[in-house]
Chain A
Amino acid sequence: MSSFENIQQQLVEDFGFLEDWEDKYAYLIDLGKSLQPLDAAYKNENYLIKGCQSKVWLHAELEGDRIRYFADSDAFISKGIVALLVKVLDGQKPEEVLHGNLFVIDQIGLAAHLSPNRANGLGSMLKQMRAYALAYLTKTQNA
């Protein structure tokens, strides 16, 4: 299993121990709180993800052949959601971000609440993260 899948598997297990929605949400919020702080320079309009009710900022960098993600939000739950994605996608290769099997959302038991068409911004976050991956992939291929 790739690290991409391993990380997701681990998260699925962690959430699996939690029985009710309160614990799952508390865990999600904690994930957000443990997110590496985003440099204040990136907390502006240009890094804002459109389509979320709360503010979610996202920045990405290429480090060798890996993509690094940094994010923050002014809401606890949005921050938890974006932290979940960062945990899985940070440090992966752009190809993995674009084409890898992202099963964590469906399997942590919050699928009904985290489905991309709900107003939680998950769809927009993922789209933006993939847009960065695509941009870097093009860049590395042209280099």
Chain B
Amino acid sequence: MHTDIHTDWAAVRNDFPILRESVNGRPLVYFDNAATSQKPQVVIDALVDYYSRYNSNVHRGVHSLSQQATSAFEAVRKQVQGFISARHEAEIIYTRGTTEAINLVAQSWGSLEVMEGDEILITGLEHHANIVPWQMLCERTGAKLVVVPINDAGEVSLQDFAEKLNPRTRMAAFSWISNALGTVNPVFEMVALAQAQGTRTLVDAAQAAPHSIIDVQALGCDFLVFSAHKMLGPTGVGILYGRLEILEQMPPVQGGGDMIKEVRFEKTTYNELPLRLEAGTPNIADVIAFGKALEYLQQLGMENIELREQELLAYATAQLKQLSGIQLVGTAADKRCVLSFLIEGAHPYDVGVLLDQMGIAIRTGHHCAQPIMDRFEIPGTCRASFAFYNSFEEIDRFVTALQKAQKMLS
């Protein structure tokens, strides 16, 4: 990875064909990156290339196409391993997304290590994907879900987190960056605190992987999960990273092809990792295209991306603070890429509709994090979320549009 301070960000925009689209007669301003990112041409081309030249099932055929598809598919596993600095390739499990990865852990690992009276610790910042699977596990086992509260700035304090940890806490599952507020959690300290208590950790990196350097060995977590579609890749691909010692113990939750060694009606023996946890024909084309997304990110350089995105967020935040009648929701000291706000006296839905009229795509609502909205006693927020390919001019247009909406809704 390298930092290139001379990146021509205007040229970078040209790599993303959708940024040339118009919406309601105006050039699109896409500020819904936390929901899903846009895709560079290389990723789109990789899909067409795969289906045009070497579409074939993986891990099965001796014929050339199958081998070509298999090596491309497996090469991405190696790439992901590198991207997050995992020790072993077998620690990378392909899933459909973050949601499926968390459910896999809750079901499989949960069936091994969680019993009645145990506790699962999450934070008040979590996406529903990091709440509901644990609630389901608790229902199955009689374990208890414990939630670390957040403060008025939308932060989790380490002290509160430490206080909730106890010898019955089997798992601490928390997001690295909040999709609703942009808060960056002190994940290194959280993992260390949990480990000291003998608690397993799962880091929801869905919002971190697109924007920061991830080193799972330095972080020391047991599991880390993210989605390809939020980091320039296609939908339908997610990554579950797990420490090998733990993954090796985990029973498969789905049975079928690819995950077996031998099938006899009397007894079936399972395949080795990672295939043991990947039953059935995987999402071959999208995994291969995800490899191109990772390559693209690494060529730009994650430090470089992080700096750019911090500048965009700082600029947008400063602009919004100058307007009157705007309330920022989530004012954590450490924030990334997400600007959640309200126009006083206006429902977020109204703001979203009017901005859409002006070609600006933001998200409105609870952002799959209803408990956060309840915490602030609001129905939802307007959320602008940025990616490196966004520009300062787009932020200016957004601010002007916001003022217009504000006027129309007063």
A76 close to B350 (CB less than 8 A): yes
User: Is B12 interfacial (CB-CB < 8 Å)?
Assistant: no
CA of A78 to CA of B365, assembled, Å: 14
A77 close to B357 (CB less than 8 A): no
Interface residues of B in 345-369 (CB under 8 A from A): 346-350, 353-354, 357, 364-365
CA of A75 to CA of B350, assembled, Å: 6
CA of A67 to CA of B369, assembled, Å: 39
Q: Count chain A residues whose beta carbon lies closer than 8 angstroms to a beta carbon of B.
A: 15
Interface residues of A in 92-134 (CB under 8 A from B): 113, 120
Binary interface profile of A, 44-77, with partner B (CB < 8 Å = 1, else 0)?
0000000001110000000000000000001111
Q: A54: which B residues are within 8 A, CB to CB?
A: 347, 349-350, 379
Interface of A, secondary structure class, is: helix
Taking the nearest CB of chain A, how far is it from the CB of B256, in angstroms? Answer: 35
Q: B307: which A residues are within 8 A, CB to CB?
A: none
Decide yes or no: A53 and B346 within 8 Å by CB, A21-B357, A22-B408, A29-B408 being known contacts.
no
Taking the nearest CB of chain B, how far is it from the CB of A53, in angstroms? Answer: 4
User: Is A42 interfacial (CB-CB < 8 Å)?
Assistant: no
User: Is B238 interfacial (CB-CB < 8 Å)?
Assistant: no
Q: B408: which A residues are within 8 A, CB to CB?
A: 22, 25-26, 29
Q: A77: which B residues are within 8 A, CB to CB?
A: 349-350, 353-354
Taking the nearest CB of chain B, how far is it from the CB of A143, in angstroms? Answer: 40
CA of A53 to CA of B380, assembled, Å: 9
Taking the nearest CB of chain A, how far is it from the CB of B381, in angstroms? Answer: 12
Which of A25, A29, A53, A55 has the most B CB atoms < 10 Å from its CB? A53
CA of A13 to CA of B272, assembled, Å: 70
B364 close to A53 (CB less than 8 A): yes
Query: Which B residue sits closest to A26, measured CB to CB?
Result: B408
User: Is B409 interfacial (CB-CB < 8 Å)?
Assistant: yes
CA of A74 to CA of B348, assembled, Å: 10
Binary interface profile of B, 322-366, with partner A (CB < 8 Å = 1, else 0)?
000000000000000000000000111110011001000000110
CA of A26 to CA of B405, assembled, Å: 11
Taking the nearest CB of chain A, how far is it from the CB of B347, in angstroms? Answer: 3
CA of A53 to CA of B357, assembled, Å: 18
Binary interface profile of A, 70-92, with partner B (CB < 8 Å = 1, else 0)?
00001111100000000000000
CA of A120 to CA of B349, assembled, Å: 9
Which of B348, B354, B380 has the most A CB atoms < 10 Å from its CB? B354
Q: B349: which A residues are within 8 A, CB to CB?
A: 53-54, 75, 77-78
Of the A-B pairs whose beta carbons lie under 8 Å apart in the complex, a sample of 6, sorted by A's number, is: A22-B408, A25-B353, A29-B409, A53-B349, A55-B379, A77-B353
Residues of chain B whose beta carbon lies under 8 Å from any beta carbon of chain A: 24, 346-350, 353-354, 357, 364-365, 379-380, 404, 408-409
